[in-house]
Amino acid sequence: MSLVTEEKIIEALSTVMDGDKSIVEQNMVQGLQIKDGHVLFSITVDAAVGAQAEPLRKEAENTIHALEGVLSATVVLTAETEAHAHPDDVVPEPRPEAPLLEGVKAIIAVASGKGGVGKSTTTVNLALALRDQGLKVGLLDADIYGPSMPRMLGIKGEPTSSDGKLLDAKEGHGIKCMSMGFLVEEDAPVIWRGPMVQTALTQMMRDVAWGELDLLLIDMPPGTGDAQLTISQQVPLTGAVIVSTPQDIALLDARKGLNMFRQVDVPVLGIIENMSYFECPHCGEHTNIFSHGGAKEEANELGVDFLGEIPLDIKIRETSDRGHPIVDQDPDSPHAKAYQEIAKLIWDKATTVLEDKAAKSPKIVM
């Protein structure tokens, strides 16, 4: 099979028209990356056009996907920060300056030092536990390397736009959700880098109709690199929670996460130890496969609260794989209870942070 080249892609995209000129001619194709037959780029559109450009995005994606040597094509829409003034256009107000996530009271990032520690599984179960406390909860799946929220919340289909401007947040088990997984096929290897991550995330925060929420949880990409730092700097985070496994604690990955949030003045609400111990489903024996308890000690040492521990249990994996995470499927089970207790702690702490902020902000005295 012949390898796809940048020239071939540009040539093919020269046939994709936006109005009477191609997207290449109008310099709308940005950030083209090709890796082992996987192609990724963005199409920059006027912020006012927003989701209306979805057919254009799809056409570009299909055009590239049809090329020989292309295994996957991933195209995202990014909005231009400066809207052009077209005198003839009767366009809705552009939103480049719109505040990110307006209508959301608290925003909490769920982070981990590395991938595979169960961050997403923990996030979805916490979201469901917070929902059961009567809160309106949203979940932004920013885990661009492995977006799994649509599957875990049992959500299917592509996002729609009711007003032609903003994407509607999807909903699963009463949780509003927006995920890269809606825009990218789940098994397509995605190699998001630097500015692409940033624009795509900003779009998810600015161009999605989240509505009024008590709390938005952000499932962060794993690790503590540029993408994570960008989110922490750009989003008005109320706080962050770090998920780690006992080994991860031992390898100090979680410590890096903690330092990153401290660097940008985001309060770390605490550490959760996942896959903390194993309880035999047959005999009930409690086994510490890894050096259990490391997170608690580490948290103490670092001056961060320890929020709780979640056991390693196949039920936790199976239920979320099926789109019915354990807190939803079996809320009275001991594992669901563990998530519920942690969720309660997190909400108490977030409320305290919000109250402190409100007390410190200047008041207008009439």
Residues that bind ligand ADP (CB under 6 A): 112, 115-121, 146, 148, 222, 274-275, 310, 312-313, 316-317, 320
Query: What is residue 188's DSSP assignment?
Result: S
Nearest approach, Cβ of residue 148 and ligand ADP (Å): 5
Residue 73 or 178: the one with the smaller Cβ distance to ligand ADP is 178
Taking CB atoms, the residue at the shortest distance from ligand ADP is 118
Nearest approach, Cβ of residue 120 and ligand ADP (Å): 3
Distance CA 273, CA 318 (A): 19
Contact in structure between 224 and 198 (CB atoms under 8 Å): no
Nearest approach, Cβ of residue 279 and ligand ADP (Å): 10
Residue 65 or 317: the one with the smaller Cβ distance to ligand ADP is 317
Residue 95 or 256: the one with the smaller Cβ distance to ligand ADP is 256
Residue 45 or 271: the one with the smaller Cβ distance to ligand ADP is 271
Residue 75 or 242: the one with the smaller Cβ distance to ligand ADP is 242
Contact in structure between 120 and 154 (CB atoms under 8 Å): no
Nearest approach, Cβ of residue 305 and ligand ADP (Å): 20
Residue 3 or 252: the one with the smaller Cβ distance to ligand ADP is 252
Nearest approach, Cβ of residue 274 and ligand ADP (Å): 5
Tell how strand 137-141 and strand 175-179 pair up: parallel
Nearest approach, Cβ of residue 366 and ligand ADP (Å): 49
